[in-house]
Structure 1
Amino acid sequence: MGVDIGGLVAIILFYLVILIIGIWAAWKNKSKPSHGELLRNEVIMIGRRDIGLTLGIFTMTATWVGGAYINGTAEGVYAVGLGFIWTQAPIGYAVSLIFGGLFFAKTMRLRRYVTMLDPFQETYGGKIGSLMFIPAVMGELFWTAAVLTALGSSLSVIFEINVHLAIVISTVVAVCYTLIGGLYSVAYTDMAQLFCIFVGLYVSLPFAVLNPAVTNIAITSTEYVYREPWLGSVSPESAWIWIDNYFLMTLGGIPWQAYFQRVLSTSTASRAQLISFVAAFSTLILAVPSVIIGAIGASTDWNQTSYGLPDPMDRNETQMILPIILRYLCPNYIAFFGLGAVSAAVMSSADSSILSASSMFTRNIYHGVLRREATDNELVWIMRAAIILFGSLAAAMTWLSTSVYGLWYLSSDLIFVLLFPQLVSVLYIKGTNAYGCIISYFFGLFLRVGGGEPYLRIHPFICYAGCHLDITFPTGPIYIQTFPFKTISMFTSLMTNVLVSYLTKFLFDRGMFPQKLDILKGFVSQPKKEKTNKITSQTSGNTDAVEQISSDKEDMDPLNTTSQNKEPVVE
């Protein structure tokens, strides 16, 4: 098959439309009057905290429902050894949005933070708090790489162009409109992209299901026809891995800057919670077509199609199963429409993650640690440079793995083990200090890295119970852990933080350690944390009351860059 000129022109026009929407969003919101509450660099990160309900729901949903979500879910259902029951991310991330709305969104929004890392630097100081940037930015980069891999796969199937060339082109488009309008451009393009992915998948689905080469997916869910049943199963020896992965997806899906960027950009705390709950429901709806498409892949006699034999599994093209099905099981005009829509839509996660990584670097590393005297104009330019840098890094990381689903799992690993217990500690456990933070951080890292990582070919140096050599692993023999070591590593990190913090406080309070040994200043910033908690508890549920506290808010802002004007509430 050669390059289809009509389809190529259509996708170029589609990309131009997305770029124009991003430019329009930047122009529309640039003309808004400034209320003096946020600096220019902060407006790029979270807007003017005036994201309405409808826009908030669309951008929150689109952030999760991107290339990794759509292509990865189809790949998981299709792949031998996985199946639907092992495709855990859609349900796991939907539940994470519910938990995030219940326990984290309101607290973070009431305290009026700008990034997810602000509470860490507020409590532990700039340098210790900046340690959290490492797992946070790694998670965003892995996530973006998964999205771009899916996007490149889709475009390469449509036009038979090089996958990496497609990734570069798509990255350039996403970076361009993110540079122009920041959060506003990302949010408004999310609306268009989410509409496209919904229409593109649901319009294409009936044609794929009714193709003569496809056996009834209800039959192949439990019976062997062309291959193992796509429903999948959980054996007793793998049950702990299954449970471990669900904890990873559910709790590891919360401490993401991409999530909190939307939470912190809303006009009220209650609205931040509401968009989390609605987005959880929306992500499940948008996972349904991908699940069915993955099942179709396992139910297709590929010898009856122009794709032919060997099938995608034997050709090691499982990560491309969604675009392959749309291309070879649907009419051309439907295939180009569906694939073009998906290709444009999956950028909705890439731009969010690139903006998130750039926001944390600019505010919490460059301004918070390296140059506290930096001007607003300087930070704007650093932000723009960071967007280009992280976009380039994410594109380069797509060379590390051929599995979208593998990158998808990896994107939550470090965040789950290192960042989630620290976020719980800093927001809800009184008395944690810098000593507990840093010791638990590196101990959790040791336990997680010690368990190895098959997708990166990292062999474990800690063999937990049930560790064994798997010679059937797709990338070659590797030691596999059957013990839920990720969840145990996370819980151990949390407990270590609490125990070390209380122990050091006891030793310093009793005079067993002199104050001059407090080299991390673990107790200097503690009163500020208690003050913050007191303010939040007194004003919980009343956003307007929080907005009236000007002198206390000055202490709560770790970078001290936010003025105290009341926020505009835009319905």
Structure 2
Amino acid sequence: MAVDVPGLVAVVVFYLVILVIGIWASRKSKKVEKTCAGNKSEVTIVGGRNISVLVGVFTMTATWVGGGYIMGTAEAVYSPTQGLIWAMGPPAYLINFLLGGLFFAKPMRSKRYVTMLDPFQHRYGNMFTATLLLPALVSDILWVACILAALGGTMSIILGLSSALSIVISAAVSIIYTFLGGLYSVAYTDIIQLCFIFVSMWLCIPFVILSPAVTENSAHLNQTNDNSWTGQLELADAGKWADDMLLLALGGLAYQALYQRILSASSSAQAQVTCFAAAGTVFIMGIPSVIIGAVAASADWNQTAYGLPPPFERGEAGKILPLALQYLTPPWVSVLGIGSVAAAVMSSMDSVLLSSASMFTQNIYKTTLRKQATERELQWVIRVSVLLVGLAGTGLAFGDNSVLAFWLVSSDLLYCVVFPQLICVLHYRYVNTYGAMSGYVVGLLLRGLSGEPVLGIPPVLLYPGWREENGVIRQYFPYRTLAMLSSVICIITVSWLVELGFCHQLIPQSWDLLGVFEEKTDEEEDEEPLPREKKSSILNTKF
């Protein structure tokens, strides 16, 4: 396929604009750092806590409206085996932000935490916090792979450009401006990217709907009452549907990218407003993908240059959005479509890069590896971490076929392992390190033994309703939700039993290897956990 030179030029111009804005924002970040007495790394991580509501809503929405969201939603609606009812992204993310604003924004922002891992560090200490970084890091790398794979597939179809080259160029642009400016660069580029996504995606809709391959086929579909794009939910599939919905709705509450925006707000109330506003905007941003997926399912592909068999039969359902733009719209419209996907990819990727780098720098390097590190040193650690996470995700992006699958898997570990911990540490005062460690092991073990087809991991535990499809065993029981709930129950139960044992001297004090139940003075008993910048981490649980 020949390279579309005008389209390529348009995309290059768009990338240059984003890069220039990112560099401009990095200069703004440096100006804020000069007026900030100490803790300059916090300017990079949480923008000096002075990000406005409007900018906060833009950057929070843009983070969630990534390549996986746009292409995964269209893929679900188009797929004959799924349909609209399986397009869970828009409603799940709406629920995610509403719950975030109601139950998580205030506890996190009122304590002036810097990262999502800070409450764990204050409650459990450095060692256990380091173990929580691992699933968060793996999830972020998978998320980067997901959104880059989405962009690579889009550019290869519409521009005729090598998928590998597209992935490398897009990753490089995101890494550069995130490397330079931290949250300021991420937030201000997100504004431009989100506006471009909104305008270009909605502009494509009329052309897709009015395509001859769609309008001429719609009469036939109406006569046969073919509503395949709406999908059906069989009773046997209800467990999987509920599992996927809860995974997206609740798993997102364990992303550092969410708390980075919450913690950058100037107050708890502003953080809550940002979440509530983003709930509406993220839902609206998913509507164009739903329409494109539905239209593609109704199109007669034999009337296009694509021909037969249709994309699903060729195993290209994951690329249905760029295919629809390429074959159902004029060339200049399809170029706008690729620009929207590119914008979505970068708006999510930069946030993911910064979130992993922030957690490693703030909760591992600063508190454990180099307690005397200077602010300049910490800023360089953030930058190197951004580079390494970006390279890892980029390497994993090559060769992926289903964007939707990677999109779901990226939330798995957070949902099964980190989310239960976050609920307990924020909303259950009496959990302790022993309970947290037990819940961590239970959640991770149950999830691992359930297998993962996307990563080629066979299941050891076979739940009711499992099926073998094309030689691959797939679980239709809500096994991820079971792992999450089991982890929560384990954390609370073990914490209560251990506390009961030590406090009533049923367990010898010498067995308290982690020092959780050491005797404290009255002053220590009354002391409230303070933010990282005001107090060093502690190993003992406060009761």
TM-score bracket relative to the smaller structure? over 0.9
| Match in the other structure for 1:79 | 79
Q: CA deviation at 1:450?
A: 1.3
TM-score by length of 2: 0.94
| Match in the other structure for 2:113 | 113
| Match in the other structure for 2:491 | 497
| Match in the other structure for 1:541 | none
TM-score by length of 1: 0.89
Q: Would the alpha carbon gap of residues 364 and 26 (structure 1) be closer, same or farther in structure 2, given more than 3 Å must change?
A: same
| Match in the other structure for 1:364 | 363
Q: CA deviation at 1:38?
A: 5.3
Mean CA deviation greater in 213-222 or 322-331 = 213-222
- Write the mapping of 1:77-156 to structure 2, written as runs, cut at 5 A: 77-156=77-156
Separation of aligned partners in 2, 1:530 and 1:403: 52
| Match in the other structure for 1:508 | 502
The SS at the match of 2:476 is coil
- 480, 487, 492: which one pairs with 2:481? 487
Q: CA deviation at 1:6?
A: 1.6
Q: Would the alpha carbon gap of residues 402 and 47 (structure 1) be closer, same or farther in structure 2, given more than 3 Å must change?
A: same
Q: CA deviation at 1:190?
A: 0.2
Separation of aligned partners in 1, 2:239 and 2:319: 29
| Match in the other structure for 1:569 | none
Separation of aligned partners in 1, 2:19 and 2:155: 18
| Match in the other structure for 2:24 | 24
Separation of aligned partners in 2, 1:424 and 1:279: 22
Separation of aligned partners in 1, 2:95 and 2:219: 27
The SS at the match of 2:473 is strand
Number of aligned residue pairs: give it: 536
| Match in the other structure for 1:46 | 46
Q: Would the alpha carbon gap of residues 382 and 272 (structure 1) be closer, same or farther in structure 2, given more than 3 Å must change?
A: same
- 509, 514, 525: which one pairs with 1:520? 514
Q: Would the alpha carbon gap of residues 58 and 357 (structure 1) be closer, same or farther in structure 2, given more than 3 Å must change?
A: same
Where has structure 1 moved over 3 Å in runs of 4 or more? Answer: 32-38, 215-225, 523-532, 552-560
CA deviation profile, 1:172-197 (whole Å, cap 9, x unmatched):
00000001110000000000000110
Q: CA deviation at 1:436?
A: 0.5
Q: CA deviation at 1:251?
A: 1.2
| Match in the other structure for 1:539 | none
Q: CA deviation at 1:20?
A: 0.2
| Match in the other structure for 2:401 | 402
Separation of aligned partners in 2, 1:13 and 1:36: 35
Q: 1:124·1:525 contact (CA, 8 Å) conserved in 2?
A: no
Separation of aligned partners in 2, 1:269 and 1:151: 36
CA deviation profile, 1:46-86 (whole Å, cap 9, x unmatched):
11000001101100110001111111111111123111101
The answer to whether residue 423 in structure 2 is matched with residue 429 in structure 1 is no
CA deviation profile, 1:461-499 (whole Å, cap 9, x unmatched):
111222232x2xxxx322222221211111111011111
Q: Would the alpha carbon gap of residues 7 and 400 (structure 1) be closer, same or farther in structure 2, given more than 3 Å must change?
A: closer
| Match in the other structure for 1:230 | 229
Q: CA deviation at 1:335?
A: 1.6
The SS at the match of 1:343 is helix
Q: CA deviation at 1:338?
A: 2.5
| Match in the other structure for 2:194 | 194
CA deviation profile, 1:204-260 (whole Å, cap 9, x unmatched):
1100100010147798599565xx701111101111111122221111111110000
| Match in the other structure for 2:294 | 295
Q: 2:412 is aligned with what amino acid? A: D
Q: Which consecutive residues of structure 2, in runs of 5 or more, have no partner in the other structure?
A: 539-543
CA deviation profile, 1:124-147 (whole Å, cap 9, x unmatched):
000112211112112211111111
Q: 2:342 is aligned with what amino acid? A: S
The answer to whether residue 175 in structure 2 is matched with residue 175 in structure 1 is yes
The SS at the match of 1:213 is helix
Q: CA deviation at 1:345?
A: 3.3
| Match in the other structure for 2:263 | 264
Q: 2:66·2:347 contact (CA, 8 Å) conserved in 1?
A: yes
Q: Would the alpha carbon gap of residues 92 and 553 (structure 1) be closer, same or farther in structure 2, given more than 3 Å must change?
A: closer
What CA RMSD, in Å, does the superposition of the two structures yield over aligned residues? 2.3
Separation of aligned partners in 2, 1:20 and 1:234: 47
- Write the mapping of 1:294-333 to structure 2, written as runs, cut at 5 A: 294-333=293-332
| % identity of equivalent residues | 44
Mean CA deviation greater in 404-413 or 4-13 = 4-13
| Match in the other structure for 2:467 | 468
Q: Which is richer in helix? A: 2
The SS at the match of 1:242 is helix
Q: 1:126 is aligned with what amino acid? A: N
| Match in the other structure for 2:159 | 159
Q: Would the alpha carbon gap of residues 221 and 297 (structure 1) be closer, same or farther in structure 2, given more than 3 Å must change?
A: farther
Q: Would the alpha carbon gap of residues 458 and 221 (structure 1) be closer, same or farther in structure 2, given more than 3 Å must change?
A: farther
Q: Would the alpha carbon gap of residues 524 and 393 (structure 1) be closer, same or farther in structure 2, given more than 3 Å must change?
A: farther
Q: 1:402 is aligned with what amino acid? A: N
Separation of aligned partners in 1, 2:136 and 2:222: 38
The SS at the match of 2:254 is coil
Q: 1:126·1:369 contact (CA, 8 Å) conserved in 2?
A: yes
Q: 1:96·1:251 contact (CA, 8 Å) conserved in 2?
A: yes
Q: Would the alpha carbon gap of residues 266 and 331 (structure 1) be closer, same or farther in structure 2, given more than 3 Å must change?
A: same
Q: 2:317 is aligned with what amino acid? A: T
| Match in the other structure for 1:545 | none
Q: Would the alpha carbon gap of residues 523 and 374 (structure 1) be closer, same or farther in structure 2, given more than 3 Å must change?
A: farther
| Match in the other structure for 2:437 | 438
Q: Would the alpha carbon gap of residues 439 and 219 (structure 1) be closer, same or farther in structure 2, given more than 3 Å must change?
A: farther
